[in-house]
Amino acid sequence: MTQLVFLIIKAAVIFFFCVGLAAMLIWGERKFAGWMQSRLGPNYAGPMGVLQTFGDLAKLIRKEDVIPDTVDRLVFRMAPYILWVPAAVTMALIPFGPMDAKIFSWNTDLVIARFDAGVVLFLAMGSLAVYGIVFAGWSSNSKWSLLGALRSAAQMISYELSLGLSLVGVMILAGSMNFVTIVEYQAGAFWHWNFIPQIVGFVIFFIASIAELNRTPFDLPDPVPGPLNLDEVTAIDLASFPLVPEISENARAIYAHSLARGGDAHAFVKVGDCMTDTPYFLIPIGAGDYTLGEYEYLEPVIAQFRTDERDSFARQSQAAAGGFNAASVLDTMWANPQFCQTGETPLSCELRLMQPSIALIMFGTNDVQYLTAEQFAYFLRALVVETVRAGVLPVLSTFPHRPEFPEQTVLFNQIVAGVALEYDVPLINLWLALEAVPNHGLEPDGFHLGEPLDDPANLEGPNLQTGYPMRNLVTLQTLDAIWRGVMR
């Protein structure tokens, strides 16, 4: 009877300990994020805002529990419990102190379950969370919810394999799968801890556990084809976006990730269609044939990306070609076999060849004619996701006016702006920059950007009343903003 009472008490203490620990970890994370972003973070509820998470929990509990009419209600309600209960059960396997501890003259183990195959049970309980994700998607009776659930489940399963294998070395060292035995094996000073001889396994376990929980940087969802919320997209005011973007904390984080992965701080790549794959766009700057005039402050950023080893301005990109749209650059069929490996897309090929820190991306001119709005949004998101996952900062750009597709031009540019907002990446508002230029900066054919009066990199006077010099200017200004805001 006494053991049963102690078991219940231990279960209750561990439960409330975990709830309190989760709240404090969330508070710590929010304070740290606030410090990184030069703000206070939680600071009103309790001393230093320590009660903020509990306030958020109380607000969440009081919210109305809305369940759509079309769902399978039983499975829909079960899904959160299938996620939470196994995670709570695993805490029963973790020893929180010595065995046979003395509490109020009673001896008890400071662990709920001393299980010989504890590691296996721990991994098995963690794997059950996959069912919660799948059940939530399936019970919604929506194919889009189901596809999203299957995508998340696939990510969780893939990282569980690495998670499990990373523990093999620890089990071999301790000679047991019992958590109590493993903890006792590494008793003593920190140099006895298992993570030192198993440092590679520890790093793999840490990364896999973050990915398993879909935390940054593994919280970037794969885009899914589906209907577009036109009300939300068409509400975007293109004129409200500056010509040159402000650099957000997320952009800084992506760039830092780029450097950590070996990205070249002196390299960028160009991704686009015929307006990008042209001798008028940036290439004269690489040749040193440019006139900055009043924009002399751009000279340092030109030197940053124009080095003896690599000249990003003059390079002919494998991810830019006439006729390309947002889908083409993600299709292996369009990769140049002379430079690209089997299975590479034009985008992945160029990213491998250059190892850049920045990707300048502009699509839309061809897309308005050949893709639906839903398709364009999907492929543009896929392009951004692949770029970020490659450790490269994507810089999107709105595209010039297409007179024969005026409504589509605005809609597709709103999609570009919406994707930039969704993923919090920089946006060059070329569309707005060209609004004040004669004929929207286009040639008389209404399709191609206007050729310069003299040199495309002459950024003085009447030359800026044509398409390519204006695009070269706002692109240089954006590179300068990124260089000053992120790189320096």
- Write out pLDDT tens, residues 410-462: 999 999 999 999 888 999 999 999 988 888 888 887 777 878 888 888 888 88
Predicted pLDDT of residue 179 = 80
Distances (CA, A) of 146 to 78, 136, 211, 301, 487: 16, 8, 20, 47, 41
Strand order in the sheet with 427-428: 264-272, 356-362, 393-397, 427-428
pLDDT confidence of 397, banded at 50, 70, 90? very high
List the single range of 44-58, 167-181, 320-334 with lowest mean pLDDT: 44-58
> pLDDT tens, 341-371?
988 999 999 999 999 999 999 999 999 998 9
Distances (CA, A) of 31 to 25, 53, 213: 10, 12, 20
Assess whether pLDDT exceeds 70 at residue 313: yes
Strand partners, 270: 360
Average pLDDT over residues 46-65: 75
Cα separation, 176 vs 301, whole angstroms: 58
Q: How many CB atoms lie within 10 A of CB 283?
A: 19
Cα separation, 230 vs 226, whole angstroms: 12
Predicted pLDDT of residue 302 = 92
Assess whether pLDDT exceeds 90 at residue 376: yes
What are residue 472's phi and psi, to 5 degrees? -60, -40
Average pLDDT over residues 459-485: 88
Of 318, 304, 471, which Cα lies nearest the Cα of 395? 471
> pLDDT tens, 70-116?
788 888 888 888 887 887 777 777 777 766 666 666 666 667 777 77
Predicted pLDDT of residue 426 = 93
Assess whether pLDDT exceeds 70 at residue 264: yes
pLDDT confidence of 1, banded at 50, 70, 90? low
Which residues neighbour 138 within 8 Å (Cβ) at sequence distance 6 or greater? 72, 75, 146, 149
Q: How many CB atoms lie within 10 A of CB 103?
A: 12
- Check residues 38 and 308 and name the one with the higher pLDDT: 308
Assess whether pLDDT exceeds 80 at residue 172: yes
Predicted pLDDT of residue 253 = 78
Predicted pLDDT of residue 219 = 65
User: How big is the CA angle at 220 (ends 65 and 317), to the nearest 5 degrees?
Assistant: 150
Predicted pLDDT of residue 119 = 82
Strands 101-103 and 106-108: antiparallel
Q: How many CB atoms lie within 10 A of CB 228?
A: 18
> pLDDT tens, 18-31?
777 777 777 777 77
Average pLDDT over residues 105-132: 76
Assess whether pLDDT exceeds 70 at residue 38: no
Predicted pLDDT of residue 109 = 67
Cα separation, 272 vs 95, whole angstroms: 56
Assess whether pLDDT exceeds 80 at residue 57: no
Predicted pLDDT of residue 160 = 80
Assess whether pLDDT exceeds 90 at residue 187: no
pTM above 0.75, yes or no: no
Predicted pLDDT of residue 475 = 94
- Check residues 401 and 32 and name the one with the higher pLDDT: 401
**Residue showing tokens 């309600």:** 77
> pLDDT tens, 228-243?
778 888 889 999 999 9
Q: What is the DSSP string of 321-353?
A: -TT--TTGGG-GGGS-TTTSPTT--HHHHHHHH
* Ordered domains of the chain (ranges, CATH): 1-63 (no CATH), 69-219 (no CATH), 230-487 (3.40.50.1110)
Average pLDDT value for the chain? 83
Strands 356-362 and 393-397: parallel
Predicted pLDDT of residue 217 = 65
